Amino acid sequence: MSVKKIIFLNQKGGVGKTTTAVNLGSSLAQMGNKVLLVDLDAQGNLTSAVSGDNRINGTYEVIVGQCPATEACQKTSIQNLYVMGANINMAGLNIELVDQEMRESFLKKALAPLEDQWDYILADCPPSLGLVTMNAMCWAQYVIIPMQCEYFAMEGLNLLMRTISNIKKSLNPSLQVLGILFTMYVKRTKLANDVVEDISSYFSSLVFSTLIPRNVRIAEAPSHGLPINVYDMQCSGAKAYQKLAQEVVKRVAKFE
Ligand code: ADP
Ligand code: MG
C-alpha cells in the first residue's frame, strides 16, 4: 500500500485546520492505519494537541537538513499515531528559504525517506500562502480545505482554488483537492445553512457530506493533549471525525 499525503489548507486562521489534522489523523489511526502528523506551523498547536515534545528536532530541523526525517518522528500515546513536531524555529523558515534554489521543494526532499513507512502522512499548514505552505503543496497529493460557515467563505475559497490550480500547473501536477470540509457547523443558524448550500451548489461533490459540528469537547481536547476520539469517544465531534475518516478513505481509493 502506498502512502497518502494530505495537507490541510486555508490561508485563514481559526478555521479548523489543526483540529482536523489531529482528529482525522487519530480516527485513521484508530481504523488501523499507521499515521504520521507533520506540524508545519510555528505555533506548534498540532504538536501539543497530541502531547508531542516541541523541544526536540522537528520539522524545521528536518527541512533545513539538520536532522533526518526518520529520526524526528515521535510516538504519541495513541496506537499507530506519530508526530513530527514544530518549534519556534519554524517562524523564521519562510525568510530563510526565500534566497534558496528550489525553495519550494525542501519539504518534499526532506520527507522522501519516509514514504514507504506510513499509510497516511497528514501535514498541518500555517495560516498563510507563504513558502512553507508552498512547500507543503509541492509535496502533497491531496488537499483538504477546512472552512467555517461564514459570509465571506466564497471569496477566500476562490483565491485558494486558484493558488492550488497554479501549483498543479507548475510545481506539482499530482496535487488534488480531496474535499472542502465545513467545520464548527451550527445546524440551527440560517447563515451556516445558507453558506453550506451556496458552496455545495457551486463545488458540488467536492464538499464532504460530513459536517463537523461546533462541539465544546473538540475545543477542550487539545488542553488534555488528546485527540477527540480518545478524550470523549461518544461526543458528536468524535463521531463526526470518524465519519470523515471513512469518507476520506473512500475518496482516496477513487484516486489511487
Ligand atoms: P486553524 O488551525 O485553522 O487556525 P484550529 O483548528 O486551531 O484552526 O481551530 C481554531 C479554534 O477553534 C481552536 O481553539 C479549536 O479548538 C476550535 N475549534 C475547532 N474546531 C472546533 C469545533 N468543531 N467545535 C468547537 N471548537 C472548535
Ligand atoms: Mg492551526
Predicted complex ipTM: 0.99
Spatial distance between the Cα atoms of 132 and 94, rounded to a whole number of angstroms = 6
Q: Which atom of ligand 1 is nearest to the CA of 237?
A: 23
Nearest CA to ligand 1 atom 11: 14
Residue 210 pLDDT > 90, yes or no?
A: yes
The pTM of the full predicted model, rounded to 2 decimals, is 0.97
Number of CB atoms found within 10 A of residue 188's CB: 6
- Surrounding ion ligand 2 within 5 Å at CB are 17-18
Residue 153 pLDDT > 90, yes or no?
A: no
Choose one of 7, 19, 145 to mutate for the ligand 1 pocket test, by most ligand atoms within 8 angstroms of C-beta: 19
What does residue 235 show for φ and ψ, rounded to 5 degrees? -75, 165
196-to-9, 190, 201, 208 alpha-carbon distances in Å: 18, 10, 8, 11
Query: Domains of the chain, with CATH numbers?
Result: 4-255 (3.40.50.300)
Residue 1 pLDDT > 80, yes or no?
A: no
Cα 253 to middle of ligand 1, angstroms: 28
Quickly state the pLDDT bin for 151 (edges 50, 70, 90).
confident
Residues with CB under 6 A from ligand 1: 13-19, 45, 127, 183-184, 212, 214-215, 218-219, 222, 237
Spatial distance between the Cα atoms of 178 and 153, rounded to a whole number of angstroms = 18
Cα 13 to middle of ligand 2, angstroms: 7
Spatial distance between the Cα atoms of 119 and 60, rounded to a whole number of angstroms = 23
